[in-house]
Structure 1
Amino acid sequence: MTTPELDTLLATSEARSPHRCCFLLHVRPERLADYVEAHQHVWEEMREALREAGWHNYSLFLRAEDGMVVGYFEADDVDAAQRAIAEAAISPRWEAAMGEYFAPGGGEKQILPAYFHLA
């Protein structure tokens, strides 16, 4: 739970950037191996759509104990890049394929605010 003071600190932090995005997802524990395996074979069409949408330096990290996935990517404009991938023709197919792996509500990206950055 946040407080107004914390919300203000996060919203005004100099570490905020329109170029970096970190997010959380939650995978069903019994599907972790399948989820990781699926990401060893990301469709080339999906990879290309991400590039065309402006995503780069994209990484996923997994905490296997509870299925928490941390995603990170960079873009010239993170908001525009997220809109572009959401509108890409391949996205509904990819989302449908990945949907089976997520815990209830866990497939919705929870964007994390930045509050420190060392370049």
Structure 2
Amino acid sequence: MLPFVFTQQAPSYDSAKVFYVRVDPGIGVSDELIKSLYYLLWFPGYFGFNWDALYDCLRDFEWIPCHKIVVFHEALPPLDRKELKIYLEVLRDSVLDWRSNDTHELEVVFLCSDKMEIEDILKG
């Protein structure tokens, strides 16, 4: 079972309690996606702009005051399949890692229409 949340529409949250970011659905290059997440999630200056650095920062969040962090995707990023698989694995592993830690909660949200494709990509 996937650790992501699937919804019919963009969720809404209390901005005083939840740090909410929306990933631009038009980003089709992994370097641009990583750079966008750097800005959206306020990653520290030492961020390395690669998949490993993304995973490391998704597992930290000491700079974000809210307990819950939500990363919403209104569409799967149009990356090539190999890069998209890496991205989804980084997100999946990060969400799972936070489950054993109560400092923060990471919630990654996709639309229901993307669920089967995500399952297929992560199986491959």
Instruction: Report if TM-score (shorter chain) is over 0.5.
Output: no
TM-score (norm 2): 0.28
TM-score (norm 1): 0.29
Larger Rg, first or second structure (1 or 2): 1
